Amino acid sequence: MTPPTIDSFLKNDAARLAKGPIAMIFVEDQIEVNSTIRHHLDAGFKVVMVMAKPDIEISDDVADRIVRISYEPIEDFTVQTHINKVIAKTAGQWLYYCYNGEYLFYPFSETRSVGEMLAFHTEERRDAMLTYVVDLYAGDLNQHPNAVNLEDAFLDRSGYYALARKDPKNGWEPKERQLDFFGGVRWRFEEHIPFERRKIDRIGIFRAKAGLEMRLDHTLNDEEYNTYACPWHNNITAAIMSFRTAKALKRNPGSTFDIETFKWRNSTPFEWHSQQLMDLGLMEPGQWF
């Protein structure tokens, strides 16, 4: 049976989204679709929506645990369009989104559910969470030419930096508690990355409300949602560990032959554990201990 479109699902079956948190996974190809779904189911999301073309294969062991939506990734704004339609139907619910080959990590994620983490974040009077999209890449591109392998995954342990986010509507003054973050593969191979896609920050987790909309740069139209912390102390941040950029660079004919390896002196194996990311400064627990 052909999965419903987002419009038909929200019209006829939106009651399935009555309890969150809700994850939205946007599938661009067949690579690591099932591992991405399993990772987020294990994290404790109450609903996992998988936006995928009908010909994408999903394992039987997870197919009956997800909401599958027929999705055609036509333009850049297609993802934002789908997210905004879900926002409009889920006021008060926590939403998260990622792509296949991306894996959410947050402080103590091995022993605490995403619901526990968001309950604390709510108590801190926060409605959104900054997530860093940290590039992963296979260590051996000869064995893994698409740059994706979970058992041979590496990340950059340094080379990350932040710049003030300027406000064009206010004389290009810095925005309060907002920064643009850079680093990883997008920084090291920036000549192959369009300028507007070099940032690694994403408001990947947020609470839906009336009138809220996702913008093309992965920020929201409520500026407080785009801040990295509240005014009085630091808050929890999370990391989305992502093969997406490395995979795209090896798939693109304009860059694939320029990249023999993604490894460099500051590469380190990814341990698939939140403590490593906290030790590297790629996320922080804030006041959550």
Q: Give the whole-angstrom CA distance, residue 24 versus residue 48.
A: 6
Residues in a beta bridge with 95: 22, 206
Q: How many residues does the chain have?
A: 289
**Spatial CA neighbour of 282 closest among 241, 224, 243:** 241
- According to the model, what pLDDT value does residue 74 have? 65
Cα angle 87-59-104, degrees, rounded to a multiple of 5: 45
Mean pLDDT by 10 residues, the chain (289 residues): 88 92 96 98 97 94 94 79 96 97 97 96 94 97 96 97 91 91 95 90 96 92 93 91 97 91 97 97 90
Terminal-to-terminal C-alpha distance of the chain: 46
- According to the model, what pLDDT value does residue 216 have? 87
Helix (H) or strand (E) holding 164: strand 161-167
Strands 137-138, 153-156: pairing kind = antiparallel
- According to the model, what pLDDT value does residue 1 have? 61
In the sheet with 153-156, reading across from the earlier edge strand, the strands are 137-138, 153-156, 267-269
The amino acid at 267: S
Residues in a beta bridge with 128: 206
Q: Give the whole-angstrom CA distance, residue 189 versus residue 193.
A: 7
DSSP state of 257: G
The amino acid at 90: T
Q: What is the largest CA-CA distance in the chain?
A: 54
* Residue 92 backbone zone (phi > 0: left; psi -120 to 50: alpha; other: beta): left
pTM summary value: 0.95
